Structures are given as structure tokens and as C-alpha cells.
Amino acid sequence: MSFEGVAKRFDGDEARDHYAARDLSLTIERGELVAVVGKTGCGKSTMFNLLIGLIEPTAGRVSVLGVDPFHRFDALAGKISVVFQNDRLMPWRSALANVAYGLELRQMPKAQREAIAMDWLRQLGLDAHAHKYPHSLSGGMRQRVSIARAFATDPEILLCDEPFSALDELTGARLREEFRRLVKETHKTGVFVTHSIDEAIAIGDRILVFRAPGHVAAEYRVADALQRQDEESLKRDILANMGDAPSTGNGLPV
Ligand SMILES: Nc1ncnc2c1ncn2[C@@H]1O[C@H](COP(=O)(O)OP(=O)(O)O)[C@@H](O)[C@H]1O
Ligand SMILES: [Mg+2]
């Protein structure tokens, strides 16, 4: 995956255009698990939406598995799975049917797709809840279902946009550990967007520090960085590179 000199401009109010990404260049190798960390509003989700081909860059090139994700959206179908902050489960489907959905779209026979879905639910400790509907599951369990759903289609790339930030600390920490383990065991490529420095250090092989307007201000190979400095000093470094938060209308940091 790569971004080369990418810009994304949104039309602003009062004729002031607004850059959500500018001079954004980065490369992510296959098999890497990269955490993207930055303050709210710095352009992380914009980068994410460019990666999944939801929006078109104003300038520069985005390449995912060798193709332009915006113009070749179909070519990437099934090769990328996404986990968002909001679980986006279908409320009228059981956990099992949610996880099996992507395989159903591929017309996999019911018994086979349900076996795969059940296996992923088991890996996430949810086999006993497979036939429950999302409304009767906790937030943490729903996010486990989303993770199972993301893995069930056996994609090459997993992309997460702040998937655990609405969960309590302990639940989030557990899920992040399991997510990292599963990505590594299955040898997938992962991009994990977060505003939490702790989370970025816990998840990433490498950390890209984003700064507004969406560009990479610094990057760290976590294992190497932790040989050179202790975790506290790495956190301070990352925080310094995140820069000032863009201000909101009421003068409070967002
Ligand atoms: N569709 C849009 N139209 C106009 N401005 C947008 C749009 N999406 C994002 N932005 C702006 O781009 C900047 C980056 O947003 P975003 O990528 O969502 O940041 P993050 O995910 O890091 O919080 C923000 O200033 C945001 O208000
Ligand atoms: Mg965001």
C-alpha cells in the first residue's frame, strides 16, 4: 500500500477550501501491522477513506495491492476488510449470520459459511453467543463480532478506524491484544487508526504519527524504538510529534 504526494481538499464554507490531507506519502509492506496515530481532526479517517476507495484524492496517487482503490473499487472487493468504531452489524441478523454475510455474498453454501463463521466466533470467544442478535450483546461483544466478520472472508488487508475507542479501557485493551495476535497468526497486513498513543504502541509493528493537515510527521519501528528509549519517553516523543490539536469553534481542543 502506498500514498505518494496525496492531497485531499474539501470545499470549505465561505470559499475557504480545506485540506484534510496534504503531501501525504507513506508505504506499508505486506505483512506489516501499522498503527496510525494522531489527534482528532488531523486526517486519519480521510487517509482511511482514501485507502478503501471511498473518496478520490485531489492530487497524488494512492495504491492498494497494486491498484487505485477509488477507480478500481471492484478489484479490491473481498481483499480488504474494515472494522469501524461503530460495529455496523445488521440488527436483524444473528451474530453468526452477520459473520457469515461476506461469504454469503460470495454464494458459499450455507453449511460451509456457517462453519467458517462459527470458527471465527469461537476464536473470539463468542461461540456461546452465535445465535444472539446484536441488541442483546455488549459493546465489546459486538466489536468482537465485527472482528470475526472481518477475518471470516480471509482478506489480505484489515483496516480499522478507531474500533475500540468507544469501549471501556479494559475491554479495549483485551480486544486490541487479540486483534494483534490474530493478524499476526494469519499473516495479514493491518492498518489500525487510533488517537491513543498507548494503543498505537500496543498494536503497531510500526507507528505513523499523523499531523494536520493529514501528513506523516514522524514514524517509529516500535521494537527498535523501545530498545533505544523507555516507553514513557517514546510516548512523549510521539505526543510532541502529534503537534497541537486543531481548535474547535469554542476554543477547546477537539
Ligand atoms: N466530508 C468532509 N467534508 C469537509 N471536511 C471534511 C470532511 N471529512 C473530513 N473533513 C475535515 O478534514 C479534517 C480531517 O478529518 P478526519 O480525516 O475525519 O480526521 P480524524 O479522523 O483524524 O479525526 C477535519 O478538519 C475534518 O473536519
Ligand atoms: Mg477519524
Strand, helix or coil for residue 5: strand
**Residue type for position 180:** R
Cα–Cα–Cα angle for 244, 232, 195, nearest 5°? 40
- Ligand with minimal distance to 39 CA: 1
Residues in contact with ligand 1 (CB, 6 Å cut-off) = 10, 18, 20, 38, 40-46
Q: What is the pLDDT of residues 38-79, one digit of tens each?
A: 999 999 999 999 999 999 999 999 999 999 999 998 899 889
Distance CA 3, CA 156 (A): 18
> Across-strand partners of 4?
61
Give me ligand 1 centre to Cα 132, in Å: 35
Q: What is the mean pLDDT of residues 230-245?
A: 91
- Ligand with minimal distance to 22 CA: 1
The protein residue with its alpha carbon nearest to ligand 1, atom 25, reads 41
Q: What is the pLDDT of residues 90-116, one digit of tens each?
A: 999 999 999 999 999 999 999 999 999
Distance CA 99, CA 115 (A): 11
Q: Is there a contact between 81 and 155 (Cβ–Cβ < 8 Å)?
A: yes
The listed CATH number (3.40.50.2000, 3.40.50.300, 3.30.1490.20, 3.40.640.10) that belongs to domain 1-79+156-254:
3.40.50.300
Give me ligand 2 centre to Cα 42, in Å: 8
**For residue 247, what pLDDT is reported?**
45
Name the more confident of 1 and 17.
Answer: 1
Q: What is the mean pLDDT of residues 124-131?
A: 96
Which ligand 1 atom is nearest residue 193's CA? 21
All three cell numbers of 84, joined, read 469501524
**For residue 41, what pLDDT is reported?**
93
The protein residue with its alpha carbon nearest to ligand 1, atom 12, reads 20
Which ligand 1 atom is nearest residue 40's CA? 23
Map out the domains of the chain as residue ranges.
1-79+156-254, 89-154
| Summary mean pLDDT of the chain | 92
The protein residue with its alpha carbon nearest to ligand 1, atom 2, reads 10
